[in-house]
Amino acid sequence: MNVDPKLVTQSESSTAWSEAYRSLRTNIEYIQVLHNLRTILVTSAVPEAGKSLTAANLGVVMAQAGIRTVIVDADLRRPAQHKLFGLTNTKGFTTTLAKDLAPDVCTQASPVVHLDVLTSGPLPPNPADLLSSNACVHLLAHLKAQYDMVLIDAPPVLGLSDAPILGRSVDGVLYVIKSRFNSRRADQKALQQLKQTGSQIIGAVLNQIQDFDERLYYYASN
Ligand SMILES: Nc1ncnc2c1ncn2[C@@H]1O[C@H](COP(=O)(O)OP(=O)(O)O)[C@@H](O)[C@H]1O
Ligand SMILES: [Mg+2]
């Protein structure tokens, strides 16, 4: 299995990059205590914000903390998790939904202990219909019962109904902001859309900060 080197949490242990993901996990753990969060949707206003990479790295650090985690690739337009974890994608989320298979049949173990991945599976012509089906609601409930944490990698909000549809069936939405993209209006619009459709926004990740200086964030004794 060839894991993408951008899964920094998997390849390195003490860089500022992986530390940033670990503090994200800690912040989520705090909210979790209050709200019993077990299913989290990761989305953004626009493509290329870093949703998939955030979901993948967050999944790794959660699993490293002993939290039994599954990442579900629900971006049925531009799936990425199979590539990040070096997995096959002949079956996955869509096969489970379309053929009414048990999710356990399609879930794959990742190279990280306690972390499984349900890759997208073959892409359907009608992602929004599939995501709004009862089968999808049942699948998420099933995974929630099997794992401590279900992280869902979603498509962007603007122009598509997929993420707001999924947002209704999860406990919380983690919103990724692409910092190099001047996106305040797009973010406002996307967040408004998510809230209007009943999503609970649990927090935001400011991603792709320019000139990220590791030394500024270095705080370790070794
Ligand atoms: N924090 C980051 N540092 C470096 N590259 C990043 C970061 N976040 C995302 N990228 C890169 O930006 C591109 C888009 O990221 P991706 O996670 O696929 O975005 P999305 O899922 O929102 O479309 C990918 O090539 C990814 O590797
Ligand atoms: Mg993606």
CATH at residue 65: 3.40.50.300
Question: Does 101 reside within a domain?
Answer: yes
Q: Which residues pair with 205 in a beta bridge?
A: 176
Atom of ligand 1 nearest to the CA of 49: 22
Reply yes or no on whether the pLDDT at 185 is more than 50: yes
Question: Does 105 reside within a domain?
Answer: yes
Question: Does 193 reside within a domain?
Answer: yes
Question: Does 86 reside within a domain?
Answer: yes
Question: Does 25 reside within a domain?
Answer: no
194, 201 Cβ separation under 8 angstroms: yes
Cβ of residue 53 lying under 6 Å from some atom of ligand 1: yes
SS3 133: coil
Confidence at 217, pLDDT banded by 50, 70, 90: very low
- The pLDDT of residue 212 is 55
Give per-residue pLDDT as tens, 160-183: 999 999 999 999 999 999 887 677
Alpha carbon nearest to ligand 1 atom 25, residue: 48
Which whole number is the average pLDDT over 215-219?
46
H runs (alpha helix) in the chain: 8-11, 16-35, 51-64, 81-85, 93-99, 103-106, 127-131, 134-146, 162-167, 184-196, 214-217
Give per-residue pLDDT as tens, 45-72: 999 999 999 999 999 999 999 999 999 9
Cβ of residue 47 lying under 6 Å from some atom of ligand 1: yes
Atom of ligand 1 nearest to the CA of 55: 17
Beta strands 108-109 and 201-207, pairing class: unpaired
- Tell me what the pLDDT averaged over the chain comes to: 89
> Cα–Cα distance between 61 and 170 in angstroms, integer?
21
